[in-house]
Amino acid sequence: MTKLHSRIATIQDLDALFKISVETFTSSFAHLNDPEDFKAYIEKHKSKETLEIELSGKESTFILFTTEEGQLCAYCKLNVGEGQSDIQDPTSLEIERIYVYDNFQGQGIGVHMLSVCEEIAKSKGLTYIWLGVWEKNLGAIRFYEREGFVAFSTHPFLIGSDVQTDILMKKIIA
Amino acid sequence: MTSFILRPLHHTDRESIAEQANNWEIAKNLMDRFPHPYSFEHAEKFIQMASNSAPVHIKCIDIAGSAVGCIGIHPMEDIFCRNAELGYWLGQKYWGQGIISNAVAMMVEYGFANFDIDRIFARPFNHNIASQKVLEKNGFKLEAKLSKTIFKKGIYHDEFIYSILKKP
């Protein structure tokens, strides 16, 4: 695996974070959805203004993963407390988004990212990490299972007018 | 004032050190070896280095169990062996409460008690007034203003030298 650096994103990282969030989301999901619905979803939920608000939120943290030279290859968004998109258990940490650029995939970066998230959760004294994964994303579900996550609930969400379902999975860390 | 303790760093401080240190407002007044951006991996390497000396040279500033800053005393070598350099930084949200000022007082006492030194010095940037006030408040005297000795991110800065001598 490329040797990675990971750090907490600050407001100075807004432009780079905006770029990776739109690009990775599009390359992951655009081909699986109605183009009009998808475009509307991107415009509503993935604007730079929305991202800036998320970035300055007290209960959300973006972690950036870069090469040693500083090239951005992956990011994730972590939520705690009431910043979590479901359950809002004060003892849990949600990985709301976890994305890797296509050209860095297949190098074990995802496993490394989960371990960084786990360390962050431990450092905050939390007892489990959880995430929602689209029910049609079978590869991702299998990946999280291999990493010790277990399905515990579901969560519906809207892409345009299309109702989709996320499987919620968690991993006990303490 | 928020209460704090000084204690040695531990590998579990990685996340909080990386979180507080990843701030240009802090990095701009420090040596380039304090990186910016500041990653978890930088924190890990730093903690390993800091844990590797006895007596401890670098302590963290612990507020409610979290390491939110560091203060270090670094003995010199050769003919300067009776001197040590003092350096420090603190997470921005804890500024303005007198925390660093008290930490400096504690570290000066610790330095003179645990190292074979007679003089402790610090070298703030000319524009770092807050740091200079901290030193003055703790009895440090301004000894010199060196012109353009610092080259930070393409810009020259003057360096101030402050020192305090061990009481006989």
Q: Do B40 and A10 touch (CB under 8 A)?
A: no
Instruction: Identify which of B62, B59, B21, B73 has the alpha carbon closest to the alpha carbon of residue B43.
Output: B21
pLDDT band at B53 (very low <50, low <70, confident <90, very high): confident
Answer yes or no: are the C-beta atoms of A89 and A112 closer than 8 Å: no
Q: What is the pTM for the complete model shown?
A: 0.90
Residue B2: the pLDDT is 85
Active site residue A144: yes
Q: Do A120 and B15 touch (CB under 8 A)?
A: yes
Pairing of strands B119-122, B83-90: parallel
Enumerate the residues of chain A whose CB falls inside 8 A of the CB of residue B39. 5-7, 66
**pLDDT tens sequence across B58-113:** 999 999 999 999 999 999 999 999 999 999 999 999 999 999 999 999 999 999 99
Q: Which amino acid is at B76?
A: M
Q: Do A66 and B41 touch (CB under 8 A)?
A: no
* Rg of the Cα atoms in chain B: 15
- Dist CA B8 CA B137 (whole Å): 25
Its ipTM equals 0.85
Q: What tens-digit pLDDT sequence spans chain A (174 residues)?
A: 668 999 999 999 999 999 999 999 888 877 877 888 888 888 887 889 999 999 999 999 999 999 999 999 999 999 999 999 988 899 999 999 999 999 999 899 999 999 999 999 999 999 999 999 999 989 999 999 999 999 999 999 887 778 899 999 999 998
